[in-house]
Structure 1
Amino acid sequence: MQSTFRSVAIVGKYMDAAALQQMRSDLTRLAHHLLAQGLHVCVESNTAAFVEHEGFEQASLETIGNKADLVIVMGGDGTMLSVGRALRDTAVPLIGINRGRLGFLTDLQTEHMLDEIDKILQGHFQLESRMLLHSETTRDNTLLLNTVALNDVVIKSAFRLIELEVHVDGLFVSRQRSDGLILTTPTGTTAYGLSAGGPIMHPDLEAISIVPISPHTLSYRPITVPADSVIEVIVVHAADAQISYDGQGQYPLSAGDHVRIARAQQSIQLVHPEDYCYFDMLRNKLNWG
């Protein structure tokens, strides 16, 4: 087999004890299959402990993108989000094998993964670019946080209303009291933004959606702005407010903090099977008739 990709990396998620044995079996089966194709196989250092095979290279997640021209991620959407952010500067494409629940970002199922991966290795795939958000949080003109998100940046309170002021490209939009605010990419519109009543945006769109979480003013609705917009959120009243990125890491906010959100310079490349259809995925995952 002449493969489009010559060096393949594997990154896995570590689950509870009940799922650990199956994960070990799936990871080992995958690594063995790739090695049998004559490919260079690199396994992320923590994942390597669960692969019962020799002949592969080990590397940290921070360096794996420089050693492979395809990364296979076995886990759920959360694992894909973490790996995507970690490898954002390498532009190495990612393909996901679903070991989670819904799996909006993980196309392959473990029972068919080897056949599907063989087709991808032979060049039968779609390549799709997904935008990222870049977020900076400042307090008294001092930078507190500087990070990126593939799904969303969320400002919220766990138990009380918070008050936020929103500006887009320097223009005042609104001042709202709510449980919080979601700033989401098209990728993230099937995550928290969907649960909060936001729109689903096709991933080919270049836009950012601003979705309120349980606003006190019921007429306050989600709004979508161009991807090149710069959004600034000022925390007016904080109580127990916090900010999170892709739901993976929470940081406390105080009144007066400024959060600036804009499109990141980097993007994430996703590999899909050749017959992938976004609308089929939505219909299956969301149980549409």
Structure 2
Amino acid sequence: TAVGLNELVLSRGDVNRVLTLDVHIDGIPLTTYRSDGVLVATATGSTAYALSAGGPIIDPRSKSLVLVPIAAHLTAVPSLVLHEDTVVTLTKRSHYEAALSVDGGTSVPIQQHDVVQVRRSRQVCTLARVQPPEELYASFVRRLRRE
């Protein structure tokens, strides 16, 4: 068990081979990604790796999660914004190397048929805001334009 603030990433290891990952949402099969990996991010993490991988920016006041495939090959399911109570289950089908990392921490090897469940933690992290709330989106625009 691990707790993170930003994102969980299940990605290929050192071998440059596509991973095959089954994705279930609340126990219901969603898709099988053939990709470099998949990440599940919080609103806080949506402006980091998830954004770089093509995911949306989630309002930081939201409790939603976002599911983002990383360099997916021929997928019909793009990034998804998920309800805060959603349980995402990832099952590694391919036999190639893969690793799991939370918030960029130490990678843990994941074996074929290993199952990873991701859900929002009951733990709450309170962050200090140094700008008024109305400055939030203006700040996003400045950063995205690199002003």
* TM-score, normalised with respect to structure 1: 0.48
Relative to structure 1, the CA distance from residue 273 to residue 283 in structure 2 (aligned partners, 3 Å threshold; closer, same or farther) is: same
Partner of 1:166: 23
- 1:191 lines up with 2:48 in the alignment: yes
Post-superposition Cα deviations, 1:82-117, rounded to whole Å, max 9, x if no partner, equal: xxxxxxxxxxxxxxxxxxxxxxxxxxxxxxxxxxxx
Post-superposition Cα deviations, 1:38-72, rounded to whole Å, max 9, x if no partner, equal: xxxxxxxxxxxxxxxxxxxxxxxxxxxxxxxxxxx
Relative to structure 1, the CA distance from residue 274 to residue 194 in structure 2 (aligned partners, 3 Å threshold; closer, same or farther) is: closer
Q: Using the alignment, how far apart are the partners of 2:2 and 2:95 within structure 1? A: 21
Q: Using the alignment, how far apart are the partners of 2:129 and 2:23 within structure 1? A: 36
Compute the displacement of 1:218 (Å): 4.4
Compute the displacement of 1:288 (Å): 6.2
SS of 2:142's partner is helix
Post-superposition Cα deviations, 1:152-197, rounded to whole Å, max 9, x if no partner, equal: 0000014210110011111110112110001010111111110110
Partner of 1:211: 68
Alignment size in residue pairs: 144
Relative to structure 1, the CA distance from residue 238 to residue 192 in structure 2 (aligned partners, 3 Å threshold; closer, same or farther) is: farther
SS of 2:122's partner is strand
Compute the displacement of 1:283 (Å): 2.2
1:231 aligns with one of 70, 78, 88: 88
Greater relative contact order structure (CA < 8 Å, 6+ sep): 2
- 1:149 lines up with 2:4 in the alignment: yes
Q: Using the alignment, how far apart are the partners of 1:273 and 1:194 within structure 2? A: 23
Which protein shows a greater Rg? 1
SS of 1:269's partner is coil
Identity of aligned residues (%): 31
**Greater strand share, structure number:** 1
- Return 5+ residue gaps in structure 1 as ranges: 1-145
- Tell me if the contact between 1:181 and 1:212 (Cα under 8 Å) persists in the aligned partners: yes
SS of 2:129's partner is strand
* Matched residue type, 1:269: T
Post-superposition Cα deviations, 1:251-271, rounded to whole Å, max 9, x if no partner, equal: 111001010101100111111
* TM-score, normalised with respect to structure 2: 0.91
Partner of 1:282: 140
* Matched residue type, 2:41: T
Q: Using the alignment, how far apart are the partners of 2:137 and 2:11 within structure 1? A: 31
Partner of 1:105: none
- Tell me if the contact between 1:156 and 1:181 (Cα under 8 Å) persists in the aligned partners: yes
* Matched residue type, 2:72: P
- Return 5+ residue gaps in structure 2 as ranges: none
- 1:264 lines up with 2:124 in the alignment: no
Q: Using the alignment, how far apart are the partners of 1:218 and 1:172 within structure 2? A: 14
* Matched residue type, 2:59: H
Compute the displacement of 1:274 (Å): 4.9
RMSD: 1.6
Partner of 1:110: none
Compute the displacement of 1:236 (Å): 0.7
Q: Using the alignment, how far apart are the partners of 1:176 and 1:218 within structure 2? A: 7
* Matched residue type, 1:224: V
Residues 217-226 or 201-210, more deviating? 217-226
Residues 272-281 or 258-267, more deviating? 272-281
